[in-house]
Structure 1
């Protein structure tokens, strides 16, 4: 069978590239790449979900795990971030056809319903392909993805958006990941509880009888399963507000008194660095110490 000739432009490109030798005139023949050299951290990656992260999600779904454990699992997990080509410059050829002259590769970011920017990340390659078939999956450790999110001025990182089990990493957890530090949710953070107690003691506001912190309803996320196609709520991975502050006020306060007490407390919280760094968003619940029966 006669040897098929290469198209002219390909043959010309090969000739210009030096043919059987490199640009220095050294022959390609006999060269090889070291088979045992590791070129990056994921050269044997099969694209599947990290086992530790999968186990943490299963624990959260069953109610035996916490969202803090999911974030801890992410700290050592590989994820994929989507990169897409973005046209930088076009040119018009002699035939009048427009063609791409330059393009850049850019991170994909999302905008949440509340206007905050979010970086999507994916626990496995298939999830990214389903979400954006044209995006290029780039494997990175989740800590590096979180660092990229901070660089892009994103306030959230969303793992597996559009899937059955999306998980939102809110700003404090995202910053902890980026700095490779342990994350404690604000509703379980002793430093946050201390600021709340100090805000009452320092202000000495007679209208405030008690204050406490708990997990807000905003940490809940809805996951679909084969058994429950309508979805079920799990305690973690929601967009927030994640901190519920319950305040017990003096009975009989009018609206002006309530507003004054709340304004004083919130001003104190805003000035406390530990509170500002640990808390993403707050839900305030007022409690009557003597509810009517």
Structure 2
């Protein structure tokens, strides 16, 4: 995620022909401050554009191993972030020389595509991080919870904090929903209710000896230098270890796993609390 810097083609094309460094009224973004008389552009008085100290501390704690993903989400719950807005051509006219020119341009929220194909809303902890990612995007300040609501309204399943920076943190679907609803979030791999829902889901089948959960391989991410960070990854976030008793052939195992997955998808606790899983089948002995 950290290496991804380019916008989707249609956004890049709109920027090329619709305003770019100026707003839809032709007023340049360059030279605007983030405080004082220009504060109305983002509705945050006296905002210096720097990252929230609490959010910066939570991200630092995650990276050095003294904190976790829950700490980052707790800091995001009250943090101001910046979302990028770009000019998008709404109506095109033809000039006297036959060349097409902007007749009307609207401002559009930027979304990006994650490596797994899902749509994501990029947000930035500071105005500088946004400017480095896309110098021509307008930084609009908002609370992270409202940004999460915007992501949901844009049908984005993820929110990506500081793409293209030294460290990028992915807010997966379950914490994104919790943030949008301003609810406290517990990672699925630390949630007793999630573990119990998985354990209970196998009680109906005699071949299921045990179901245990642990942190999935997709929780881990890497910073721009390739250093591993124990959080912020795109997923899968949860590993489900399915212990089966001997006696099933491969077709029966496949059918049982498929049936369990359908049950998991219909379980409200799991649907709300888990973004993505990986299943590991093991042999269980009484």
Q: Report the TM-score range of the alignment, normalised by the length of the smaller protein.
A: 0.7 to 0.9
Asked which structure has the greater RCO (Cα within 8 Å, sep 6+), the reply is 2
CA pair 133-41 structure 1, distance change in 2 beyond 3 A? closer
1:285 equivalent among 261, 280, 285: 280
The answer for the alignment partner of 1:248 in structure 2 is 243
Alignment partner of 1:90: what SS?
A: strand
Give CA-to-partner distance per residue, 1:53-87, whole Å, 9 cap, x none.
Answer: 11111111111111011011111111100000001
User: Counterpart of 2:118?
Assistant: 116
Q: How many residues align?
A: 248
Kept in 2: contact 1:208–1:261 (CA 8 A): no
CA RMSD of aligned residues (A): 1.8
What are the Cα deviations for residues 195-233 of structure 1, in whole angstroms up to 9, with x where unaligned?
Answer: 1121122x1x12111111111010111013xxxx3x211
Which has more radius of gyration? 1
Could you tell me which residue of structure 1 aligns to residue 8 of structure 2?
Answer: none
- Counterpart of 1:44 in 2: which secondary structure? coil
> CA separation in 1, counterparts of 2:49 and 2:208?
54
Q: 1:259 aligns with which of 250, 254, 257?
A: 254
Tell me the alpha carbon deviations over residues 160-218 of structure 1, each in whole angstroms, 9 at most, x when there is no partner: 011111000001101111111111111122221121121122x1x12111111111010
Deviation at 1:285, TM superposition (A): 1.1
Relative to 1, partners in 2 of residues 1:260 and 1:95: Cα closer, same or farther, differing over 3 Å? closer
Distance 2:140 2:180 in 1: 17
Q: Provide TM-score, normalisation by structure 2.
A: 0.82
Separation in 2, partners of 1:151, 1:240: 22
Q: Deviation per CA, 1:93-112, whole angstroms, max 9, x where unpaired?
A: 33444321101100000011
Give yes or no for contact 2:210–2:284 (8 Å, CA) kept in 1.
no
1:213 aligns with 2:213: yes
Structure-2 separation of matches of 1:98 and 1:112: 33
Structure 1 residue runs without a partner (length 5+) = 1-34
| 1:113 positional shift | 2.0
Match of 2:193 in 1: 191
Q: How does 1:119-134 map to 2 (within 5 A)?
A: 119-134=121-136
1:286 positional shift: 1.6
Decide which of 44, 54, 57 is 2:56's aligned counterpart.
54
Take 1:48 and 1:281, find their aligned partners in 2: how far apart are those partners?
Answer: 33
Please report how far the alpha carbon of residue 253 of structure 1 lies from its aligned counterpart in structure 2 after TM superposition.
Answer: 2.9
Preserved contact between residue 219 and residue 240 of structure 1 (Cα < 8 Å):
yes
Q: Shift of residue 41 of structure 1?
A: 5.1
Matches within 5 A, 1:1-293: 42-201=44-203, 203=204, 205-224=205-224, 229=225, 231-289=226-284
d(CA) in 2 for partners of 1:73, 1:58: 12
SS across alignment from 1:76: coil
C-alpha displacement of 1:134: 0.8
TM-score by length of 1: 0.80
